[in-house]
Structure 1
Amino acid sequence: MAHRALTVGARRGVLEHWVRLPVIARIAVVYLLGRAVTTGFLLLAAERSTVGSRFGADATIGSFVLGWDAQWYWLVAWEGYPHVLPLTETGQVTENAWAFMPVYAYAAQIVGLPFGAWGAGALLISLVAGFFACVALHRLLRHRIGASATMWAVVFFAWGPLAALFQVGYAESLFVLLLLIALDLVARRRYAWLYLVIPVMAFTRPGILAFALYLGLHGILRWIRRRHDPLSTREVVHIIALGALATATGFAWQLIAWFVTGDPGAYMATELSWRRNWGVDDAAFVPFDGWVQAAQFWFTQWGMPGWWGLIALGILVLAAAAMLLFSPQVRRLGVDLRLWSASYLLYLLAVFFPQSSTFRLLLPLTPLAGALAVPRSRGYRIVVLALCVLGQWIWIDQVYAQGSAYWQVP
Structure 2
Amino acid sequence: MTRRRLVLAWLRAPVIVQVLLVYAAARVFSAVVIAEVARFQAESVWTSADPGYTGMLGIWDAVWYREIAEDGYPSSVPLGADGRPQQSALAFYPVFPLLARALSAVTGLDFAVSGSVVALVTGAGAAVLVHRVLHEAVLRAGGRPATARRAAWSAAVLFCVSPVSPVLQVAYTEGPAMLLLAGFLLLLLRRAYLPAAVLALVLGLTRPVALPLTAVVVVHLGLRALRAHRGGARRPPTGVAVRAAVLLAASGTAGLLWPGITWWLTGRRDAYTATMGAWRSSGEVVPFVPWVSVSQYLLGDLVGPVLLLLLLGLAAFFLLSARTAVLGLELRVWCLAYSGYLLAVLDPFTSLFRYLMLLFPLGGLVALHPRRRGALRATVVACLLLQIVWTAWLWRFSPPADWPP
Q: 1:359 to 1:168 in 2, by over 3 A?
A: same
Q: Is 1:254 matched up with 2:247?
A: no
Residue matched to 1:4: none
**Counterpart selection for 1:61 from 14, 33, 53:** 53
Output the CA distance in 1 between the equivalents of 2:42 and 2:50: 8
Offset of 1:207 from its aligned partner? 0.7
How much is the aligned-residue C-alpha RMSD, in angstroms?
2.2
Is the 8 Å Cα contact of residues 155 and 363 (structure 2) preserved in structure 1?
yes
Q: Is 1:94 matched up with 2:86?
A: yes
Describe the superposition over 1:41-81 as per-residue Cα deviations: whole angstroms up to 9, x where unpaired. Answer: 00111112235897553232222210100110110111111
Is the 8 Å Cα contact of residues 218 and 339 (structure 1) preserved in structure 2?
no
Q: Is 1:333 matched up with 2:337?
A: no
Is the 8 Å Cα contact of residues 53 and 403 (structure 1) preserved in structure 2?
no
Offset of 1:142 from its aligned partner? 2.1
Describe the superposition over 1:337-390 as per-residue Cα deviations: whole angstroms up to 9, x where unpaired. Answer: 101111111221222222111111112211221112222532222111111111
Q: TM-score, normalised by structure 2?
A: 0.90
Describe the superposition over 1:92-122 as per-residue Cα deviations: whole angstroms up to 9, x where unpaired. Answer: 1111000001110111000122133222221
Q: Is 1:38 matched up with 2:30?
A: yes
SS in 2 for 1:65: coil
SS in 2 for 1:88: coil
User: Residue type of the partner of 2:103?
Assistant: V
Q: Is 1:322 matched up with 2:317?
A: yes
Residue matched to 1:282: 283
Q: 1:251 to 1:393 in 2, by over 3 A?
A: same
Residue matched to 1:365: 359
Output the CA distance in 2 between the equivalents of 1:309 and 1:59: 42
Output the CA distance in 1 between the equivalents of 2:308 and 2:47: 34
**Counterpart selection for 1:217 from 210, 216, 219:** 219
Q: TM-score, normalised by structure 1?
A: 0.89
Aligned residues: 390
Offset of 1:222 from its aligned partner? 1.8
Is the 8 Å Cα contact of residues 292 and 310 (structure 1) preserved in structure 2?
yes
Q: Is 1:123 matched up with 2:128?
A: no
Output the CA distance in 1 between the equivalents of 2:45 and 2:366: 34
Is the 8 Å Cα contact of residues 177 and 203 (structure 2) preserved in structure 1?
yes
**Counterpart selection for 1:398 from 384, 389, 393:** 393
Q: Pick which of 179-188 and 249-258 moved more.
A: 249-258
Offset of 1:176 from its aligned partner? 0.7
**Counterpart selection for 1:193 from 185, 190, 195:** 195
Is the 8 Å Cα contact of residues 203 and 254 (structure 2) preserved in structure 1?
no
User: Residue type of the partner of 1:162?
Assistant: V
**Counterpart selection for 1:78 from 70, 80, 102:** 70
Output the CA distance in 1 between the equivalents of 2:175 and 2:226: 34
Output the CA distance in 2 between the equivalents of 1:96 and 1:313: 32
Residue matched to 1:180: 182
Residue matched to 2:246: 241
Q: Is 1:133 matched up with 2:126?
A: yes
Is the 8 Å Cα contact of residues 130 and 182 (structure 2) preserved in structure 1?
yes
Q: 1:365 to 1:104 in 2, by over 3 A?
A: same
Residue matched to 1:381: 376
Describe the superposition over 1:219-259 as per-residue Cα deviations: whole angstroms up to 9, x where unpaired. Answer: 22222222359754433332333222222231122222222
Output the CA distance in 2 between the equivalents of 1:120 and 1:57: 19
Query: Any unmatched runs of 5+ in structure 2?
Result: 139-146
Offset of 1:406 from its aligned partner? 6.0
Q: Is 1:169 matched up with 2:203?
A: no
Q: Percent of counterpart pairs with the same letter?
A: 32
Output the CA distance in 2 between the equivalents of 1:94 and 1:288: 22
Q: Is 1:18 matched up with 2:10?
A: yes
Q: Is 1:202 matched up with 2:204?
A: yes
Output the CA distance in 1 between the equivalents of 2:131 and 2:213: 20
Query: Any unmatched runs of 5+ in structure 1?
Result: 1-9
